[in-house]
Amino acid sequence: MDASRIRTEEDLREALKGHSEFEIEVYVTTFKIPKGKVSTYSRIAKLVGRPKAFRAVANTLNKCSLWPIVPCHRVVASNGRFTGTEKGAASRRKLIRDEGVPIKGGRVVISDDILF
DNA sequence: CCCGTGACCGACT
DNA sequence: CAGTCGGCCACGG
């Protein structure tokens, strides 16, 4: 499938046909995060109705085959840290910074203003 | 169905 | 403030 043709939430859901309901909700929710804002695994988990499934959320996002359609780089750990391999972390850190999100000491400065 | 595997989290030491 | 430790959940083998 051609991910670049995805524009709306419906397109996304259609493209995700076959995936589990959980994964679809995670992707759709992440898809809604506006530029310049970020969210955390735990918040996403709560938004999809599974407050304690934050770990499963991380699993889903790390695959994130739909990037950059789904801005999975805007999801960080609750302490503002970029998780994963140093390579991937650095990459997402740059994207986030370019979107105007405050970074301090390599960590996202979490605040209500930029939190989705 | 059990088991290992995470881009996790919060409490506790 | 840095580690450690359970507990969580979905997924694939």
Nucleotide nearest to A23 (CA to C1'): C10
Q: What domains can you pick out in chain A, each with its CATH number?
A: 3-108 (1.10.10.10)
CB-based burial, A40-55: b 16+ in 10 Å, e otherwise: bbbbbbbbbeeeebbe
- Chain C positions with any atom < 7 A from a protein CB: 7-11
A1: confidence class by pLDDT, cuts 50, 70, 90? low
Residue closest to sugar C1' of C8 by CA: A52
Asked whether residue A61's C-beta has any atom of DNA/RNA strand C within 7 A, the reply is no
- Is A64 annotated in the active site? no
pTM score? 0.92
Query: CA–C1' distance A93–C3 (Å)?
Result: 25
pLDDT tens digit string along A25-49?
999 999 999 999 999 999 999 999 9
